Structure 1
Amino acid sequence: MRVPVVLYLASMIRVLLYMMSFWLALGPVLGQKRERTRWVDAEDDLRGASWRFKAGDSLRWADPAYEPLHWEHQSPTNTFQVNKALWKAGKGWFRMAFRMRPSALGKDMQLVVQQFGRSEIFLDGRLLATVKPAQFDSGGSQRVIQFVSMGVADTSRHVLAIRYQFRRDPVLFDAVDIAPMYVYFRTANEAGLSLLKDRWSILGNVFFTSVFAILALLHGLFYRVNRNQRIHYTLAWMMLSFALAFSIGELYNHTATLTQQAVVDLLEEVLICLGFILLLTTAYQYLHLRRGRAYYLLVGIAVANLVYEFSISQRYGSLGIMPLLLILTDYVRLGWIGRRRGDADSRLPWRSIKTALYCVGLIMVYSVVLVILELTTNNNFDSSILIPIFLLVVVILFSIPVGLSLSLVRDYARTYQALSDNLREVQQLSARTLAQEQEKQQILATQNDRLEQQVRERTAELHQSLEELKATQEQLVQREKLASLGELTAGIAHEIQNPLNFVNNFAEVSVELLDELHEERARPTHRDEDLETELLEDLKQNVQKISEHGKRAASIVRGMLQHSRASSGQKEPTDLNALVDEYQRLAYHGMRAKDKGGPTGRFNVYLETALAPDLPLIKLVKEDMGRVLVNLFNNAFYAVDQQAKTTDQSNYRPTVWVSTAAQADTLVIRIRDNGTGIPAEVARKVFQPFFTTKPTGQGTGLGLSLSYDIVTKGHGGTMTLTSEPGLFTEFVITLPVT
């Protein structure tokens, strides 16, 4: 028979408390010469310190007159690991002196015996029964349950003696963790039912196995859904380890030989050790801490302890449960670290530790009270009195590993709540957008009705205006798309403000100069003609400056209008090579006419063309595409001109290449120069409106933006840029043929 794994720690505490109570408080009583007489009743479990044990064999020990001097205080329920003398000898005697309480007299008393091995039951020196399995000597199961009628009808002192022996099978350790036998009094009516009541440990093992197995399955599914959270993977294996440990605990009641029992002991210890290691791992993962030397040292100690115990064939022969206590100590340390954090979830390990410690304290207090009551009243309490301890142990077991699971579930709940809130916001925004769209549709429908009414009122010669009306509607849609130009107002105002400031300043200065000129001319005598000439010259310069900055402002406004205007020209079949050649020559001559010469001489550049022959005609808006080509050529000419001004003329040959080609269903135009080039951080912005790399007054920043819109939006093509600073710049235009 075997106590449940879940009550292992509680049993250890209770044994320690028994020993302390007996040796410290009741030392004189234990030193008495005579056996201590115990009062029993109809439902007594016959456990505790009333039993005496001696290894060996002698029928004289069954005599009630025999005094068991110096016999050990060993109960038949103590396991072979506790009763080393019985394990070594293979046989021995258990004795207990008792008196039947008056309340039990007249009842048909039965001694229920559940044992592992063989025994002979003696009452006052008389053999009552021999309890043994049918195949005790042939290697079969050594477990047996038997009811023995007592027949005690008085309250006199009686002696119950049990002659016990078992078959020694090969084992892994020096002793197995199994109790020789359980004996207790019951009435004939309750004897059979007591077997069912004593099997409550099965419910405990099944309960814990089921809970941990379900948690292992849930965490495994969580990890399968979200593999980024490795903590679920670790928790799944940890819960599985504990589930297997509790399920193995139930195998203690079904092992046939001590060899099988030893294997079960080893598996249970390995699984418990693995569970504790994984518990510590989850704490590190939950708090997002790096596993350092302390973690690997503790894991190494636990593994080395298992290997050492197995190698010396002695369970708990090395450090015992010290590795598990060290792991729990490090878990407490991690819990304290989490407690000091501001995050409420990080404090969960510490809260679970406090809960477990409170439960341990309650278990110790409750156990001390039970021991005191048992020793003072000479009564053995029913096993049901241990239910509070069982419940507290349940809380201990669930507070630490299951606490992490509950925290992760709470994280999922918060995430689900956040997603629900976001979904509600999206639904509200969708409803609002739908209402606005319906309102726009209603306004558009009203406008369409008005336009249709105007069309019906027009004369017959305006019937063809239907196509124009459709074009107008398309323009309205395009203008709505370009409504974002309003965001550029601030930038345009800043660009126009500079030339306007110059115009205003020079205008004010000119007024002052005119006032001085009038005053000088109003003098009747001694007029200063040189001063008048100087004033006139200043006026001339001011007017020129006003004209220049006025043209600058007009250029900015004109560029803005060109950018905002959607072309209404008709596409017509065009010879792309002729178009490129024409606008290349126009741009070149325009550049030369603009640059009349300077310190480096008149503008000059080498033009190299590679126009593919037999290109198919392509439908284009010639004026718009010409605007694109002129802009690209002007930029290329400006780049090589700037490079020529900053480079040794003997080693630099300013060149602009232009080529055309047919690729699949598209025509490609390449314009390349060996000018100053464009840095990468600037190249990402060149197609933005009002972005320019030229000095103030030499560019509006709308040329490339407008060209990009014409190519992509007006003709459905693409326009890309490739450049290396100081080496080259190349624009590639791709236009669909159809």
Structure 2
Amino acid sequence: DAQGKPIAHPEGSRLSQTNNLLSTNNLVWKNVYQTMVQQKQGVQRVKLGQEWVYVAYAPLRQANWSIALVIPTEQVENQLNALNTLAMVVAGVLAIASMIGVQQLRLLEQAEDRSTELAETNSKLKQEVQERQRAEAALLESQADLENRVAARTTELATANQVLQTSEAQLKQQAFQLEQTLQELQQTQTHLIQTEKMSSLGQMIAGVAHEINNPVNFIHANLPYAEQYMQDLIQLIKIYQAHYPNPVAAVQEKADEIDIDFLIDDLAKVLESMQMGTERIRQLVLSLRNFSRLDEAEKKEVDIHEGLDNTLLILQNRLKPKPGYLGIQIVKNYRNPYPVECYPGQLNQVFMNILANAIDALESTRILDSSQPQNPAQNQLTSYAERKAIAAEREEMARFHQSMPQQFDARQSTLSCPLPTILIQTTVADPQWIEIRISDNGSGMPEEVRKKVFDPFFTTKPVGKGTGIGMSISYQIVVEKHGGQLLCNSAPDEGTEFIIRIPARQSQTQVAPDLERLNIFSHPTTAQSYETNTQNSWVNPPIH
């Protein structure tokens, strides 16, 4: 290394014997070591013991070391003798090669002549190649020109295609807008026609109601006198029976034939039924007048329960039992005590459409009543015995409805009820929103039909029975006119429920909660509402 310390030696024992090679007494080797420490290189011939050796040394500058190689001179001289022998052999080979070279020179002269001929031939070939290259260049130029023309034409076609696609997209957009405008025009036209029809119907109903009201008032006003006269006659009969307990045979026979006790008892019920009938006609006239306000354009505060009751009264004829079939019962659960600011005539139209659809759905599920005659001709009362049987049946039906519980889960009870039933519920969804639920226990509808129930002109009814515009108009009235929501929940064999949610005040701008989260079968508001003191009103079809 740089201090003269040995790093490596073929004889490992020398490393432990000598700490510094510069301290040797051999001047020749000391000179070699100093030269190595100075990072020099060279070769020296020195004597190592009894043998002469060559010392070749060179520096390792990266490590600041120096390395030396010791080669005995005998080995070097032996190699030099081998080189001398090799030189003699090479000289002989060169002599032989010279003779061969002369011969090859002659061959080269012949080859040169041939090369000249080949050069001339090559020159001619070069000329032909140049001519072909010029032709190829011209061909390439023509090809490039053709490619440029093709590229330009392709660009023109691409531009024209893009313009065509843009035009096609614009035409499609215009066609879509035109179709949408046409559909809106059809809906508007249908709505206007329906509004005009309802307006004309309202005027006609108002006129008919006025004409009916006069004779009904006349009949209704005379019923108290008829009842008073009946009571006088009954008292006269009772006085006669008290003074003449054993009448003549003809009188007794006639009394037994007409069943005088039943006649007296049933006559009061007949007059009561007539009183109820005239009162019902008067209510119907009032409902017709209220319902005929469909053309009113101004909103006002009204009791929506009155609109529901008026609509039910108008539809009462479709709710009554038919020959051989039970009627449709109405379950009302009104829980909204506040007046609602709305367009009452249009809202009545919504109630009419939904209730009429519910009745249509229940028409096919009405239960056959074997106790009722299926032939209308058999419905005439021809004897007191038949009238007495009908009276007994009426009392049995009344006891059946009186036995129903007053507090219950109305929706689940409606679904499980064996009779065709329509449930009407009104609630205050929150302080600013009113909710009306109208449900039935009919056959329901599949999902693909439910999704289209509000589409214009969509109907599942036979041709001539349904137009498919009632629910579409109802949706427009609730959503667009009142700023509310109209939702339909239905499933096969699980009935149908329509949910109407409108603001209590039309001036409010709050957004209604998302009705999609509501569940027809487990609505928390509905489930809780029947735990309070709520009077459920069961409206049953009349017997008379």
Question: Is the structural similarity TM-score above 0.5?
Answer: no
Normalised to the residue count of structure 2, the TM-score between the two structures is 0.33
Using CA pairs below 8 Å that are at least 6 residues apart, which structure has the higher relative contact order?
Answer: 2
Normalised to the residue count of structure 1, the TM-score between the two structures is 0.25
